[in-house]
Every structure is written in C-alpha cells, then in structure tokens.
Amino acid sequence: MNYFVTSEQYIKDKYDVDVVKDILLDREDRAILLMDATNKTDVLFHLLSGSLSTLGLSDDKKTMKFDDFYLLIDYDNKYAQISSKKEVQKIHR
C-alpha cells in the first residue's frame, strides 16, 4: 500500500490530480463496489461510485447481495471459451 500512497502524493503534487476522486471514482461508465463479507451468509456490495445501471440494474439501487451479483455473470462468453481452451492445451502438452 505504501507504493500507492507515494504515487498518489507524487501525482497530486506534480499534476494537481487526486487519484481517487479524479481518476478512480470520476467515471460514469463503471460502477465501483465495496464488498462487505463480514456476514458470510449475506455478503453485500455497496455502491461507492457510478451507477448499478451499468450492470443493467435499477439506477436508484445502492446495494446488491452477492447472490444477485453472481447471477449477472455470463460464464459462456468468448473470454471463457478462449481461456478454457488454453487451459486444456496446457494440460494435454
């Protein structure tokens, strides 16, 4: 974490840019979520920045259960097909 703090300060001093506010959180085309796993049976994601509409959910929603998030993942996509093909090739060499 020390590298982040050092880099963050350097960028702030040299360019007057706040890494967290101006770079990480200031994007409308993504949602940044904080996962709270303190309750293992009810893991929640809390919206920090952006909108859950990016994920096709209601714009006014500010939290999401892990189980609901899990249902949004498409496991049958091009990356999965290519990645699994490479894994199979590694095994059979």
H-helix or E-strand spanning residue 23: none
For residue 64, give the nearest of 27, 28, 36 by alpha carbon: 36
Q: What is the pLDDT of residues 20-77, one digit of tens each?
A: 888 877 777 788 889 999 998 999 999 988 888 888 888 788 999 988 888 887 777 7
User: Quick one: pLDDT band at residue 16, thresholds 50, 70, 90?
Assistant: very high
pLDDT at 10: 92
Whether the pTM exceeds 0.75: the reply is: no
Token pair, residue 11, equals 């960028």
Of 83 and 6, the structure prediction assigns the larger pLDDT to: 6
